[in-house]
Every structure is written in structure tokens, then in C-alpha cells.
Amino acid sequence: RTEREREREREREREREREREREREREREQERERERERERERERERERERERERERESNIIVVVICCCCYNYY
């Protein structure tokens, strides 16, 4: 092969390598995005749990019964 052919082959190989690197970067970015989405979902779940806890606390009723007359307050 001539020097030009070898140079073109090397250039094609470099281009394939750059393309593989871009693909790896896209995959990493997708994984980061999935992780961010999982974190948002965990935060939403924590917020729902806090809301349920506030709801339970708001439903607490305290009743005091007098030991001598049995009236309740």
C-alpha cells in the first residue's frame, strides 16, 4: 500500500475511535440522567412519606377523662 492509503486508513481508525468515544460519552450521560431521575423519584417518595406523616399527626385526638367524675375533655 502507498503511504497515502496507510494515512487514510489511520484517519479512518481515528474517526472510528472518536465515534466510539462519543458513544461511550452518550451512554455515560444517559446513565447520569437515569440516576438523576431515580434521585428525583426517591425525593418524591420521601415527600409523600412526610405528607402521610403530617396527615397522621393531624388526625391525633387527645382525650382526657377525669378519674372522679368520668367527664372527658
- Tens-place pLDDT, residues 34-52: 999 999 999 999 999 999 9
- Taking the C-alpha atoms of residue 12 and residue 6, their distance in angstroms, rounded to an integer, is 10
| Boundaries of domain holding 23 | 1-73
CB of 73 closer than 8 Å to CB of 64: yes
Domain count, the chain: 1
The pLDDT of residue 64: 84
pLDDT digits (tens, 9 = 90+) for 4-26: 999 999 999 999 999 999 999 99
In degrees rounded to 5, what are phi and psi of residue 53? Answer: -65, -45
